[in-house]
Amino acid sequence: MSSDGTPDPFANPLAFGQRLQILRQKRGLSRPVLAGLLGKSPDWLKQIENGRMSMPKLPVILRIAELLRVRDLADLTGDQSLSVDLFVGPGHSRLPAVRAAINAFPLAVDRQAPTAAHLQARLARAWAARHQAPNHREVVGELLPDLIRDGQLAVRQAETAADRRAAQACLSEIYSLSQFFVAYQPDSALLWRVAERGMVAAQESEDPHAIGVAAWLTAQAHRDGGPAGFDAADAVTTEAIRYLEPYLPEADDRVLAIAGALQFEAGYTAARRGENGTAWNWWDTAAKTAKKLDAGYYHPITSFSRAIMGAHAVTIAVELRAGGESVRQANKADAVAIPSRPRLARHRIEEARGYQLDGQAETALATLERAHEAAPETIRYNGYARLIVIEETESKNPARRRRAAVLASELGLLAA
């Protein structure tokens, strides 16, 4: 029993149905809503929860786990032999050093802080390295500790209000880079600490671009928590869009791009809610913003650009559970135009989800293999990719099952 009086779904000997009901209620999903998302009837779900029907097969369990954002299959099934982290990847070897730098607040000033211009140059190199590296967390994780310490020092040593605002803008962007590293690792408290500090530093900077980026990442953190966070994600996104609107008529590509990225985020959350019209309307708005950017411009943080809108269309269709539309959008999207290896891998994962929805399991698995070629760390930390691979290891097709097993081994899934 948890401290708030709610039964703990992870305490034995709760049955599968009881665990499912508790987790569903904690996510704020009604029985008809969850049943509809599963393509089942509310009565079917009621019988599962009441124990009048046995536990469904693995593909259905995996879909339930996806919808409820269950971190570990054992939390849902109670079977520790199925212990697999779904939406949290393994802790990276550089996580302790990054965590230590984030948590530390040294007060002694024993050296001169770098200038804001120097920090910006290092940040530009760090973003470029992230986009070019297949193992981008390794690259970023090596750079972050010194960047975090120097960014904090620059804020403390700023002598004028203008210098302090510039330093805060740099520090906010450093926290943005940190959030990319920390995301989907086993330390949610650290993720929120980074997101909140990034937003505070951005507000102190009074820089529209920094504020937009911090809002974009904060909205993602809320949304990735599941349906209970959708309202908070919408509130952050819409407020940030409203804040940026006065700047847009004379904005440079950076500010235009973060506005477009926020517009797409609003559509993304709407798609997660199942709001078809709203989701595509926001995608249209973001596409119009993208057309205002220089043809070759690519935002280094959000990847927002003209080229990314095709990938964003795939994501909207996938989140709306529209398999045929997902495949149609995947065929239209120009993946070659995505210069970032981790973002390309993410797009391949979204394509794979679309193919799986459309019943093209073989193509989905082949697409995940292409994602792995582009950026192994992206697929290793992506819960949706992990779900597809795990499901295909149970395929009735021996060749596909063996193929999935090879990829599962490369991703470190189901390891003892």
Encoded amino acid at 225, one letter? G
User: Alpha helix locations (H) across 78-226?
Assistant: 95-103, 116-132, 136-157, 161-182, 188-205, 208-223
Place of tokens 């495949």: 327
The answer to whether the beta carbons of residues 261 and 216 sit under 8 Å apart is yes
The answer to whether the beta carbons of residues 354 and 326 sit under 8 Å apart is yes
The answer to whether the beta carbons of residues 369 and 409 sit under 8 Å apart is no
pLDDT exceeds cutoff 50 at 376: yes
pLDDT exceeds cutoff 50 at 21: yes
Place of tokens 């029907």: 53
Specify the domain boundaries for CATH 1.10.260.40 within the chain: 16-82
pLDDT band at 85; cut points 50, 70, 90 = low
Report the pLDDT averaged over residues 364-368: 96
Percent of the chain with pLDDT over 70: 93
Give CA–CA dist 324/331, Å, rounded: 11
Among residues 162, 131, 128, which one has the least CA distance to residue 377? 131
14 three-state secondary structure: coil
pLDDT exceeds cutoff 70 at 229: yes
The answer to whether the beta carbons of residues 388 and 348 sit under 8 Å apart is no
Average pLDDT, the chain: 89
Q: What is the DSSP string of 294-308?
A: -TT---TTT--SSTH
Tokens read off for 194: 């980074």
Tokens read off for 242: 């409203």
Tens digit of each residue's pLDDT (9 = 90 or more) over 29-38:
889 888 888 8
User: What's the pTM?
Assistant: 0.81
Paired strand residues for 72: 85
Paired strand residues for 85: 72
Among residues 228, 183, 221, 199, which one has the least CA distance to residue 346? 183
At 8 the pLDDT is 46
Judged by average pLDDT, the poorest of 83-87, 147-151, 163-167 is 83-87
User: Alpha helix locations (H) across 320-382?
Assistant: 323-332, 341-357, 361-374, 376-380
In terms of average pLDDT, the best of 56-65, 69-78, 204-213 is 204-213
Among residues 341, 283, 335, which one has the least CA distance to residue 312? 283
* CA max distance for the chain: 70
**Dihedral Cα 361, 365, 366, 370, nearest 10 deg:** 140
Distances (CA, A) of 11 to 5, 15, 19, 75, 83: 13, 10, 9, 9, 15
Tens digit of each residue's pLDDT (9 = 90 or more) over 283-336:
999 999 999 999 999 999 999 999 999 999 999 999 998 999 999 999 999 888
The CATH code for residues 16-82 is 1.10.260.40
Q: b or e along 380-410 (b: 16 or more beta carbons within 10 Å of the residue's beta carbon)?
A: bbbbbbbbbbbbbbebeeeebeebbbebbee
Among residues 392, 314, 22, which one has the least CA distance to residue 11? 22
pLDDT band at 88; cut points 50, 70, 90 = low
